[in-house]
């Protein structure tokens, strides 16, 4: 009897286990089908790390959404645009790496075969193509009643391309082309069914903007002329070096510093915005609020501000161009009417990246960034903060004034500045200069409070004599200097902590007497 009961128990347990397993299997299959049909994230399917908005953000302006068959829904337009841009990103990546991963999921059979042939040919001939698109102007032509097919013309697509063979650069090309595009909705995603490159169409009046001639009377900004002789200083709040808009941001601290600067007979400050700190392509709202508070305080104190963008940024690859464009666009368009801003400085000392990143890459990025800034803010000046006067001639023809940093022997200040004035025929600002008061072993005992004061006294005499515009480095001594600024070694860092006119305790150093003229 006991044996029969045990058998019944085992039999019941077996049946129950079978039922449980069957239920979980059915649920699992349902999840898989749901994933494949509707809910799959394309980045998971392709093993890509990010969505298109994280890696590829060219400017897209739909010139028309008129359609005879069916009205284009806002949600559908967003998905269509996302998948279309990612098709460009996948193609660009494939041509750069000669790897076809992801093409099947963004292109239908006929279109992908053409790409396969191109990739095969390039791979056999060791050709690699780096490509990015900067602007798109699509115009909807047809959207089917069943919502499965879309036809549009992507007009005047601005592309930038670099072609390499055997890892050597063959050519760099900027092109403008128009594409006829057909896309199909398959498995919940839009795929490119057909794409035909056509001749570019003429630009519509609202698709291109000319650079302005400055005639703003309130700041007296005129073309090739600064509104006044700049007497300024590079600024970080006390105890917030290289972190102006961080957790220690304090309105009262900044206002007090502005009073010090104003009483010292200075009229301009230069500040720095870090690309990563502000959120890269997706600007952090809290950072923008702090920047507005800062600029409002400067306006209240009647101090002009030169805003240096992309501090600590050093990736000039085509892959990242569209992300940096969106970053700059959001900032400058938000403050294009702000009266405190004198100028946008595109980058601090970009020539220091020439060796590791390639001079052509850096200059190409700066060239296009200047266009982005001017298109989104026609009201303010543009400059670049070069680390020396030799490199400051780069892109001078596109700058409203020339900025360079002077850390050479003081006797060369007139020669370097006058040569730039003569060569570029643009206003010149000595945007950084200074010496540390640090006199320890790591500076060979060369610095001192007295020597720093003597240096600034001589510099101010040159500035007054020649009516040079200047911005000294910097208001405060720094208790802490990040490694990425000057390196991690004491002989690198210790000097950098003592360039200020005011020491860590808030006491004016002897050099403060010569902060201006």
Asked which of 26-30, 333-337, 350-354 is least confident by mean pLDDT, the reply is: 26-30
| Percent residues over pLDDT 70 in the chain | 83
At 300 the pLDDT is: 97
Higher pLDDT, 297 or 20: 297
Position 241 pLDDT exceeds 50: yes
**Which strand (E) or helix (H) includes residue 184?**
strand 168-186
pLDDT band at 444 (very low <50, low <70, confident <90, very high): low
What number is the average pLDDT over the span 327-342?
97
CB-CB contact of 139 with 153 (8 Å): yes
Q: How confident is residue 39, by pLDDT bands cut at 50, 70 and 90?
A: very low
> Is the separation of the CB atoms in 163 and 129 below 8 Å?
yes
State the pLDDT confidence band at 35, using cuts at 50, 70 and 90.
very low
What pLDDT is recorded for position 496? 84
Instruction: Flag whether pLDDT at 109 surpasses 90.
Output: no
pLDDT band at 47 (very low <50, low <70, confident <90, very high): very low
Mean pLDDT of the chain: 87
Reported as a pLDDT band with limits 50, 70 and 90, residue 222 is very low
Chain CA centroid to CA 409, Å: 34
Locate 15 and state its tokens.
């049946």
CA 480 to chain centre: 26
Indicate the pairing of strand 221-222 with strand 215-216. antiparallel
pLDDT of residue 14: 59
User: Does the pLDDT at position 498 exceed 80?
Assistant: yes
The values of phi and psi at residue 249, to 5°, are -55, 125
Nearest one of 236, 239, 283 to 261, comparing CA atoms: 236
134 vs 488: which has the higher pLDDT: 134
Query: Residue 5 has what pLDDT?
Result: 54
- Confidence class for position 273, pLDDT limits 50, 70, 90: very high
- Give the mean pLDDT of 450-477: 97
Per cent of the chain over pLDDT 90 is 74
pLDDT band at 144 (very low <50, low <70, confident <90, very high): very high
Q: Three-class SS string for 343-370?
A: EEEEEECHHHHHHHHCHHHHHHHHHHHH
| pLDDT at res. 451 | 95
Q: Rounded CA gap, 497 and 276, in Å? A: 24
- pLDDT at position 439 is 78
Per-residue pLDDT, 305: 98
Q: What is the mean pLDDT of residues 2-30?
A: 57
Identify the CA nearest to 435 among candidates 513, 515, 504, 496: 496
Confidence tier at 27 by pLDDT (50, 70, 90): low
Out of 66-75, 115-124, 388-397, which region has the weakest mean confidence (pLDDT)?
A: 66-75
Q: Please give the pLDDT value at position 155.
A: 93
- The tokens 């979980």 sit on which residue? 24
The phi, psi pair for 215, rounded to 5°, reads -140, 35
Pick the more confident residue, 215 or 451. Answer: 451
Query: Could you tell me the strand order of the sheet in which 149-165 lies?
Result: 59-60, 127-143, 149-165, 168-186, 189-198
First to last CA, the chain: 111
Contact 429, 402 (CB under 8 A): yes
379-390 burial, b at 16+ Cβ within 10 Å, e below that, comes to bbbbbbbbbebe
Structure confidence by residue, pLDDT tens digits, 174-183 = 999 999 999 9
Q: Which contacts of 289-295 are long-range, i.e. CB under 8 A and separated by 24 or more positions?
A: 290/245, 290/249, 291/245, 291/331, 291/335, 292/335, 292/338, 293/251, 294/244, 294/245, 294/254, 295/335, 295/338, 295/340, 295/341
Report the Cα 381 to chain-centroid distance in Å.
Answer: 18
If 0-12 CB within 10 Å is exposed, 13-18 middle and 19+ buried, where does residue 110 land?
exposed
How many angstroms separate the CA atoms of 516 and 229, rounded? 12
Residue 514 has pLDDT above 80, yes or no: yes
Q: Residue 92 has which token pair?
A: 């660009």
Residue with tokens 């809290």: 286
Contact 481, 471 (CB under 8 A): no
CB contact at 8 A, 318 and 132: yes
What is the pLDDT averaged over residues 150-167?
95
Contacts of residue 55, defined as CB under 8 A and 6 or more positions apart, other chains included, come to 89, 319, 323
What is the reported pLDDT for 26?
Answer: 56
pLDDT of residue 20: 55
Question: With 60 as the cut, is the pLDDT of residue 337 above it?
Answer: yes
HSE-up (13 A, CA, CB side) for residue 470? 27
| Dihedral angle over CA of 440, 443, 445, 451, nearest 10 | -110
């Amino acid at each position: 009897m006991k044996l029969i009961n045990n058998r019944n128990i085992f039999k019941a347990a077996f049946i129950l286990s079978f039922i449980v397993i069957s239920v979980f299997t059915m649920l699992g299959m349902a999840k898989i089908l749901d994933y494949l049909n509707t809910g799959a994230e394309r980045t998971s399917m392709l093993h890509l790390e990010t969505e298109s908005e994280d890696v590829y953000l060219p400017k897209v302006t739909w010139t028309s959404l008129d359609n005879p068959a069916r009205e284009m829904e806002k949600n559908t337009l967003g998905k269509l645009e996302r998948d279309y841009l990612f098709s460009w990103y996948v193609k660009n990546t494939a041509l750069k790496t000669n790897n076809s991963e992801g093409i099947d999921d963004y292109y239908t059979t006929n279109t992908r075969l053409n790409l396969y042939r191109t990739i095969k040919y390039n791979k056999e001939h060791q050709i690699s193509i780096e490509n990015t698109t900067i602007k798109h102007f699509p115009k909807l032509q047809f959207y089917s009643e069943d919502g499965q097919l879309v036809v549009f013309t992507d007009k005047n697509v601005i592309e930038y391309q670099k072609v390499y063979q055997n890892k050597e650069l063959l050519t760099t090309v900027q092109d403008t082309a128009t594409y006829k595009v057909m896309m199909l909705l398959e498995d919940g995603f839009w795929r490119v069914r057909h794409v035909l490159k056509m001749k570019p169409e003429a630009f519509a009046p609202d698709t291109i903007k000319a650079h302005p001639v400055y005639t703003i009377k309130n700041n007296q900004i005129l073309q090739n002329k600064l509104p006044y002789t700049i007497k300024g200083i590079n600024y970080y709040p006390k105890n917030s070096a290289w972190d102006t808009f961080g957790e220690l941001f304090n309105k009262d601290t900044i206002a007090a510093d502005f009073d010090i600067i104003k009483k010292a007979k200075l009229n301009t400050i230069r500040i720095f915005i870090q690309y990563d700190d502000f959120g890269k392509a997706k600007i952090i709202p809290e950072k923008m609020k702090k920047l507005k508070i800062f600029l409002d305080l400067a306006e209240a104190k009647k101090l002009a501000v030169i805003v240096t963008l992309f501090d600590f940024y050093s990736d000039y690859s085509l892959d990242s161009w569209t992300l940096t464009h969106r970053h700059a666009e959001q900032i400058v368009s938000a403050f294009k009417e702000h009266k405190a801003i004198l100028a946008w400085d595109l980058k601090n000392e970009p020539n220091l990246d020439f060796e590791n990143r390639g001079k052509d890459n850096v200059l190409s990025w700066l060239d296009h960034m200047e266009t982005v800034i001017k298109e989104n803010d026609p009201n303010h000046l543009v400059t670049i903060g070069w680390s020396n006067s030799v490199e400051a001639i780069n892109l001078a023809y596109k700058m409203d004034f020339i900025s360079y940093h002077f850390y050479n022997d003081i006797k060369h200040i007139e020669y370097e500045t006058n040569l730039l004035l003569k060569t570029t025929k643009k206003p010149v600002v000595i945007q950084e200069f200074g010496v540390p008061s640090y006199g320890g072993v790591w500076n060979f005992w060369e610095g001192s409070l007295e020597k720093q004061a003597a240096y600034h006294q001589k510099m101010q005499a040159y500035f007054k004599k020649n009516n040079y515009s200047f911005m000294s480095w910097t208001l405060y001594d720094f208790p802490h200097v990040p490694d990425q600024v000057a390196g991690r070694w004491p002989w690198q860092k210790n000097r950098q902590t003592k360039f200020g006119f005011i020491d860590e305790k808030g006491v004016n150093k002897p050099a403060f007497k010569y902060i201006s003229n």
